[in-house]
Amino acid sequence: MSAKVSKFMSSPSKVFYTAALTIIVIMLIGTGFDWQISQAIMDQNSWFGTIFQDFGLWPIPFIIILSSMVIINYAWRSKTMPWFVRCSMILGAFVLSGWQLWANYLKTTVYYALTLNDNIKKGLPVGQANSDGGNLHLSFLGNFAIWIIIYLVIFFLTQIWLSHKSDEQMDYLVKVAVVATLAAIVANDMNSAMKTYWGRWRPYELAGNHVNFTNWFQPNGANDHMSFPSGHTTAAAGIMLLPMFVDRANVKLQKITFWLGLAYCILMWASRVRVGAHFLTDATSGLWTVWFVFFIVLSITGMHLVEWKKDPILSDHNI
């Protein structure tokens, strides 16, 4: 094998092709045995499944919030830009990040947490919840108090982190912020559209009755059932953008962030099948559809999650 071929088959290519092959195999297994696998391992009393269900939706909102914090810091530093441009950037980033924290994380998480408490009181399975149409909520003051505390903590911690960045590092991070936000929003919107159009029943909704079961490749149209693809694994997949925010010179930390992010995705994937909220193919599709969007966006922009090696051949692989 030539040195060029050897390099081609090193870390980036291995990760990409291994992941692609694994996903194809899992989808094939789920195509034939979705129902049987779900019936064998589903348990709505699983605390593993419940914890990830209730509190694990943070990655995509966090990526957009982190990107907004970068924009705020960049605009504050950029004294040469017109004041109205800087103000627009700062105001827009504040609004976007605040909305993401509430609408795409806290709103659902508060509902799940209240449902968990209600389930315990009523002696119901701890993981029994329906985010597609729940109505438990806190008062306005309760919601605002949680939101403002978390937002301020994120704001001050990120600004302290960004204050140590050089102007050159900020030039890179602002590009990451734009690309990561685009990738996250496109992936999230695509997932929402697919869930509505596919109309697949969730395992727990079927309650052991095979009559309304359909395979993942069979869209049913909008019918208020939203199992395919998994929104939780879609959100979890967003964490794979986090290595982009690590300094490009610190390849070791980029790799650590990458592998920890992948581990989180796998845990979320397993938890959704375990708690009976999704079939195997639902959970898997929530991951691969998002990663596919990320792959396209990064390929177009020429950016990388991890600078695996300082090598021109490897730098062509946008993963």
Q: What is the 3-state secondary structure (H, E, C) of 115-153?
A: HHHHHHHHCCCCCCCCCCCCCCCCCHHHHHHHHHHHHHH
Q: Mean pLDDT, to the nearest integer, of 36-40? A: 96
pLDDT at 318 over 60: no
Q: What pLDDT, on the 0 to 100 scale, is given for residue 308?
A: 81
pLDDT at 135 over 80: no
From the CB of residue 98, how many other CB atoms can be counted at a distance below 10 Å?
16
Q: What pLDDT, on the 0 to 100 scale, is given for residue 125?
A: 95
Q: Mean pLDDT, to the nearest integer, of 127-137? A: 73
User: Could you tell me if 225 and 133 are in contact, meaning their C-beta atoms sit under 8 angstroms apart?
Assistant: no
118: amino acid identity, one letter: D
Q: Mean pLDDT, to the nearest integer, of 184-210? A: 93
- Give CA–CA dist 224/185, Å, rounded: 23
**pLDDT top residue among 304 and 308:** 304
Q: What is the mean pLDDT of the chain?
A: 90
Q: What pLDDT, on the 0 to 100 scale, is given for residue 114?
A: 93
For the chain, the domains span: 3-316
| 264-305 pLDDT per residue, tens | 999 999 999 999 999 999 999 999 999 999 999 999 999 999
Q: What pLDDT, on the 0 to 100 scale, is given for residue 132?
A: 63
**Residue closest to 290 by CA, chosen among 217, 254, 240, 243:** 240
| 248-261 pLDDT per residue, tens | 999 999 999 999 99
Q: Mean pLDDT, to the nearest integer, of 194-219? A: 93
pLDDT at 8 over 80: no
- Give CA–CA dist 31/282, Å, rounded: 10
The token duo for 24 is 């194809």
Q: What pLDDT, on the 0 to 100 scale, is given for residue 310?
A: 56
Gyration radius of the chain's alpha carbons: 21
pLDDT at 240 over 50: yes
Alpha carbon of residue 232 to chain centroid? 7
Q: What pLDDT, on the 0 to 100 scale, is given for residue 4?
A: 46
**Residue closest to 290 by CA, chosen among 182, 184, 196, 219:** 184
Percent of the chain with pLDDT over 90: 84
- Give CA–CA dist 162/185, Å, rounded: 23
